[in-house]
Structure 1
Amino acid sequence: MTNDKKVGVIIPIYNVEKYLKECLDSVINQTYKNLEIILVNDGSTDNSLDIAKDYAKNDPRITIINKQNGGQSSARNVGIEYFSGEYSLEYCKNIDGLEEYNIKGNNPLQIHNILNQNKINTASQIDYLIFLDSDDYWELECIEECVSRMVGVDIVWFDAKTFFDGAKSDWVSTLKWLDYNYEQIITRKNWLDRIKIRQQRFFYFAWQGMIDFKFLKDIKLKFINHIIHEDDHFGILMFLQIRKVYILPKELYNYRIRNNSTVTYDMEVPKNRIPLYFRHHLSIFDNNSTLTYKYFYTSSMLQTTLGLIEFLQVQDAYAKSVINKYLLPTYIDLALGIVDSSADPLNLISQLPTLEPYTDIHRKVSGAQKIIKDSTIYKIGFTILRAKTIKKILALPNQISIFIKNEKEIKKLYKDRISKYPFAKKPDLQNYTDYHEVSKIKSHLSYKLGIATMRAYKFRYFGGWLAWPFCIAFTAIKFKLNQKNKGK
């Protein structure tokens, strides 16, 4: 194969010192060599930037763009804008063996500097573009396999295999969800047909394939800055504008799922899960990182949904019907979760009326299990189970009071918002498609301990707290005996 086509690689980097070498080794050792590699350091606070510099010193194909933290979406956009020639650069100096450049003029994504070996002030012209997340890695033939199939198509869409790093997940690639299991070329209509046939409820695309860069520039598509799961909006809008896509069901991508990645969900969210650029909102949520993260998530889904609805206005009738029936309801349901938020620092709730024409108040949705696990009852029980030290046990009454106080405030806010936006009301629990699983969640010890605690709290002025330790012990012993009897 000739290497006459140049491939631009964009790798956002944020605090991945543990994984970055494996990632970069898989890039620089690709069997296809004609690469322009952009490492976008998104304000890392660990040694990631130093590792990136070491690689840049040894490989002239690598350029580092060092920027203020803005999230993966903004990091990817910086790479797109750099390859598109949107930045005017001025040479500064040689720093630590690399040439340093600064951005002249407008710099909205706050790029600190650009570093490479080459002493050039413009990016190479690229033919194709591909994204790679910095905690993942490619098979060594990935680029070569894609380039050989890029003729006459806008995208080569390949598969991924998952491996876990301290996390559990049932993640499956969209290629597998849509049952694409042999090589073929599809059109926009073929993709819409498959969404309809498979009744697909979500779609995303970013790192799953190679993109014709002229196509991407022609459709003027970028990621929404400063949100999570930005590849849903990007992927749906891209596939609504494709002409042809080459399906390559080979697992060329190694996708790592780790505890603090954006695809994992925890009942209690640690502060480090909240992006640096969003942490200034913590004080608005009384420094509660769980509430802050949930607002960050639902506000991201609302921005995604608003973007989808806006784009659908210029689509043909068939595309509107498929997206409105299958994909859009999922994002609407996730976006409407913002009505549960204890604050709205981005002032997005005022945009909910845009969703009303697309919202079915009798809708069947999924998520009953999550509702129970998000309930104050379950969270209290879960917190009790995690209290393994004397200090944590003594802190429980105060924690429980805070849980209940937050629940009361959020319920009041929810009631006020629903009176203003009645279409945003959650369906009754019985209307959830996974309602049959609720009884299983309620049988968890966490839920049972939560129930016992709520009873004690209700009678706290009549000695409820004094009886509470005995209620907890009795509930736990009864649960274990029942489990033991079931096992016989």
Structure 2
Amino acid sequence: MNTDENNKIGIVIPIFNVEYYLECCIKSVINQTFSNYELLLINDGSNDKSFEIAKYYVSKYTNIKLINKDNKGVSHTRNIGIEYYLNNKILYQNTIIENNMCKTNITYKNEPMVLYSSVNTNKYPENINYIIFLDSDDFWEKNILERCIKNINNNDLVWYDYNVDYTEFKPEINYQTIFQFYNINKTITLTKNEIVELLIQTKNILFWFGWHGMIKLELFKDTNLRFIEGIIHEDHYFGLVLFSKINSVVILYEKLYNYRVRINSVCNHSKTPKLQNILPKKLLKIIDYFDNDINEIYNYYKTYSYCVTYKKLKEYFNKHNYILKNRYLPSYYNIAINLFNHNNDPLIGYNCFDFNDIKIKLNNINKLLNNKEQIINNNKLNYSNLEKKYENEIIKNNVLQEENNYLNININSLNKTIQQKNAEILFIKKYGTVRNKIKSHLAYMVGKTLIKNSNNIFDLALMPIKLLVIYLTYIQIKKINKNNNLPISKYPNAYKIEKIKNTFTYNIGLYYINLTKKYTFVGALFLFPFLINKFKKSHYGTN
């Protein structure tokens, strides 16, 4: 087994709800032919058995450590790994011995966490030269570390290829690796200028790098290069900025990493209470905006992530005048601008765009509208060749007229769409959405409070106070919105009102309000638990 005392590798594995894959992942590290490494497992608030599995391996191996923290996403988790190996920004506090392990309280950016390590090892990282990332549902070939150490020499990073594992799920079309996208078919060392040439010449419009190689740790000491937190596809910004900073890279044309394609557990779950076990905390806060539609949530979150990536790349490219700005920035802009196709933007992705970004989009539309005459003339020129083919003037004129009519219809349709979208934006700015309008109804607010606070005796005891607060809040909302008396039927998507009014939340609130009119506020509260079954039977036919 190769140890190479002069080169030590720091490995970071972020963990989130991967109990069925984690052991395979960790064992692929333990079984490496190169042993001079330290493995840092970081549990990102898992609520399955992942944390217990990780603790087991810490108790068995002196070179494995574990950080346990609240869920903040894979970027936040990887950034902690970087800071840990740099021995930077992590504050160590008291340590106790628990279950034959050292348990140390630590903080990162004022966030409390716990570091678990063997009693026979130093809790601090020691002499780390390189850093490498491994996702917890993937696994390595047993010689990946040895091959990286053997080939890196004095270069900044090793970039290797990977296998795609379809054991669990086989899509209709096989995935291409990034080496295939960039037409890489040999092992080679590239200088800075050759790296730029490779990235410019390829036809692929995007670039990403995260778990795809081993990186010299020094690159993180002198720069603020980190993963963008709070998004997915975080390896796009990281990869482009990383490759702008390196002086040389070893492209290792060997498949050393195994990327596991697995069925998206989020997409395979219906709208059930298990959502909190599936979605990251960041997305749990926005599910109401998308009626708990998991696919719609993730499509929005993906677009939002590209918005943030576009903004950060634009800031970086403008500051450093990076040569690849014109090569990649338009591609990320074209994806990010799709944000405006979503009905909701609860994470405020539009803040990623400035006036010039929006102006580009509008200019493209205006060019299409303003060039109507030129488009028609170009088509006339194209059809002039028909004169040679068709001597009958009537046929030629009919063809031209049909094409002109088609263009007029399309342009008129585009004009109407733009006007409609502008009208909807102005309407929402002035009156808000129909969903927010109905949710400010007293019946909905009361129903939500009754359901939320009916789980235990303590909440029931506080119910009168909470209902009083809801009523006072409703009075305040009515005062604020006294000038907004627009009927709901005038709102865009007004049909959604019936869907919300048919919900259990709205109807139970309305039922309670009617009880107060008949029995007074106190009487309704007392009778409500006894009349709830009568309500269910009359409204839903159930007990």
TM-score, scaled relative to structure 1: 0.69
Is the CA contact (8 Å cut-off) linking 1:23 and 1:136 kept in structure 2? Answer: yes
Partner of 1:295: 300
Partner of 2:182: 178
From 176, 200, 205, the equivalent of 1:201 is: 205
Is the CA contact (8 Å cut-off) linking 2:117 and 2:123 kept in structure 1? Answer: no
Q: Could you tell me how far apart the structure 1 residues matched to 2:50 and 2:329 are?
A: 37
**For residues 338-389 of structure 1, what are the alpha-carbon distances to aligned partners after superposition, in whole Å with 9 as ceiling and x for unaligned?**
11223222223133226618956659xxxxxxxxxxxxxxxxxxxxxxxxxx
Task: Label 1:355 to 1:15 Cα distance change in 2 as closer, same or farther (>3 A).
Answer: farther
Partner of 1:310: 315
Partner of 2:141: 139
Q: Does residue 94 of the first structure (1) align with residue 97 of the second (2)? A: yes
Partner of 2:386: none
Task: Label 1:415 to 1:216 Cα distance change in 2 as closer, same or farther (>3 A).
Answer: farther
Partner of 2:115: 114
Q: Could you tell me how far apart the structure 1 residues matched to 2:16 and 2:77 are?
A: 10
Partner of 1:382: none
What amino acid is aligned across from residue 117 of structure 2 in structure 1? N
Partner of 2:44: 42
**For residues 448-476 of structure 1, what are the alpha-carbon distances to aligned partners after superposition, in whole Å with 9 as ceiling and x for unaligned?**
xxxxxxxxx9xxxxxxxxxxxxxxxxxxx
Is the CA contact (8 Å cut-off) linking 1:186 and 1:245 kept in structure 2? Answer: yes
What amino acid is aligned across from residue 138 of structure 2 in structure 1? D
Q: Could you tell me how far apart the structure 2 residues matched to 1:412 and 1:111 are?
A: 49
Q: Could you tell me how far apart the structure 1 residues matched to 2:98 and 2:219 are?
A: 36
**For residues 384-411 of structure 1, what are the alpha-carbon distances to aligned partners after superposition, in whole Å with 9 as ceiling and x for unaligned?**
xxxxxxxxxxxxxxxxxxxxxxxxxxx9
Task: Label 1:359 to 1:94 Cα distance change in 2 as closer, same or farther (>3 A).
Answer: farther
Structure 2, unmatched stretches of 5+, are: 366-418, 429-494, 496-543
What amino acid is aligned across from residue 97 of structure 1 in structure 2? N
Q: Could you tell me how far apart the structure 2 residues matched to 1:273 and 1:297 are?
A: 16
Task: Label 1:212 to 1:283 Cα distance change in 2 as closer, same or farther (>3 A).
Answer: same
What amino acid is aligned across from residue 61 of structure 1 in structure 2? N
What amino acid is aligned across from residue 347 of structure 1 in structure 2? I
Q: Could you tell me how far apart the structure 2 residues matched to 1:147 and 1:417 are?
A: 56
What amino acid is aligned across from residue 181 of structure 1 in structure 2? N
Partner of 2:69: 67
Task: Label 1:253 to 1:359 Cα distance change in 2 as closer, same or farther (>3 A).
Answer: farther
Partner of 2:235: 231
Deviation of 1:275 after TM superposition, in Å, equals: 1.9
Structure 1, unmatched stretches of 5+, are: 364-410, 421-456, 458-488
**For residues 130-176 of structure 1, what are the alpha-carbon distances to aligned partners after superposition, in whole Å with 9 as ceiling and x for unaligned?**
00001111110000100112221111000001012224153222122
Deviation of 1:417 after TM superposition, in Å, equals: 5.1
What amino acid is aligned across from residue 116 of structure 2 in structure 1? L
Is the CA contact (8 Å cut-off) linking 1:339 and 1:414 kept in structure 2? Answer: no
Is the CA contact (8 Å cut-off) linking 2:227 and 2:235 kept in structure 1? Answer: yes
Deviation of 1:29 after TM superposition, in Å, equals: 1.1
Deviation of 1:217 after TM superposition, in Å, equals: 2.1
1:254-403 correspondence runs (5 A): 254-260=258-264, 271=275, 274-316=279-321, 319-320=322-323, 322-325=324-327, 327-353=328-354, 356=357, 359=360, 362=364
Task: Label 1:413 to 1:83 Cα distance change in 2 as closer, same or farther (>3 A).
Answer: farther
Is the CA contact (8 Å cut-off) linking 1:9 and 1:131 kept in structure 2? Answer: yes
What amino acid is aligned across from residue 115 of structure 1 in structure 2? Y
Partner of 1:378: none
Secondary structure of 2:135 counterpart: coil
Deviation of 1:196 after TM superposition, in Å, equals: 2.2
Partner of 1:57: 59
Deviation of 1:115 after TM superposition, in Å, equals: 0.4
Task: Label 1:287 to 1:414 Cα distance change in 2 as closer, same or farther (>3 A).
Answer: farther
Q: Could you tell me how far apart the structure 2 residues matched to 1:259 and 1:219 are?
A: 37
Deviation of 1:218 after TM superposition, in Å, equals: 1.9
Deviation of 1:277 after TM superposition, in Å, equals: 3.0
Task: Label 1:182 to 1:335 Cα distance change in 2 as closer, same or farther (>3 A).
Answer: same
Q: Could you tell me how far apart the structure 2 residues matched to 1:304 and 1:314 are?
A: 15
Greater relative contact order (CA < 8 Å, ≥ 6 in sequence): 1
Is the CA contact (8 Å cut-off) linking 1:273 and 1:293 kept in structure 2? Answer: no
Partner of 1:19: 21
**For residues 13-66 of structure 1, what are the alpha-carbon distances to aligned partners after superposition, in whole Å with 9 as ceiling and x for unaligned?**
111111111111110111110111100101111111111111111111111010
Is the CA contact (8 Å cut-off) linking 2:42 and 2:77 kept in structure 1? Answer: yes
Q: Does residue 253 of the first structure (1) align with residue 254 of the second (2)? A: no
Is the CA contact (8 Å cut-off) linking 2:79 and 2:227 kept in structure 1? Answer: yes
Partner of 2:244: 240
Partner of 2:130: 128
Secondary structure of 1:290 counterpart: helix
**For residues 263-321 of structure 1, what are the alpha-carbon distances to aligned partners after superposition, in whole Å with 9 as ceiling and x for unaligned?**
xx8999994663233211212333333332222111111001101000101334xx44x
Q: Could you tell me how far apart the structure 1 residues matched to 2:271 and 2:242 are?
A: 32
Task: Label 1:177 to 1:30 Cα distance change in 2 as closer, same or farther (>3 A).
Answer: same
From 157, 160, 173, the equivalent of 1:158 is: 160
Tell which deviates more after alignment, 133-142 or 115-124.
115-124
Secondary structure of 2:354 counterpart: helix
Deviation of 1:183 after TM superposition, in Å, equals: 1.3
Structure number with greater Rg is 2
Task: Label 1:287 to 1:267 Cα distance change in 2 as closer, same or farther (>3 A).
Answer: closer
Is the CA contact (8 Å cut-off) linking 1:332 and 1:359 kept in structure 2? Answer: no
**For residues 168-215 of structure 1, what are the alpha-carbon distances to aligned partners after superposition, in whole Å with 9 as ceiling and x for unaligned?**
153222122111211111123222212222222011001010000001
Secondary structure of 1:149 counterpart: helix
Deviation of 1:5 after TM superposition, in Å, equals: 0.9
Is the CA contact (8 Å cut-off) linking 1:3 and 1:32 kept in structure 2? Answer: no
CA RMSD of aligned residues (A): 3.0
Tell which deviates more after alignment, 163-172 or 196-205.
163-172
Is the CA contact (8 Å cut-off) linking 1:93 and 1:100 kept in structure 2? Answer: yes
TM-score, scaled relative to structure 2: 0.62
**For residues 60-82 of structure 1, what are the alpha-carbon distances to aligned partners after superposition, in whole Å with 9 as ceiling and x for unaligned?**
11110101111111111111111
Tell which deviates more after alignment, 301-310 or 218-227.
218-227
Is the CA contact (8 Å cut-off) linking 2:42 and 2:68 kept in structure 1? Answer: yes
What amino acid is aligned across from residue 14 of structure 2 in structure 1? P
Q: Could you tell me how far apart the structure 2 residues matched to 1:246 and 1:269 are?
A: 47
Secondary structure of 2:320 counterpart: coil
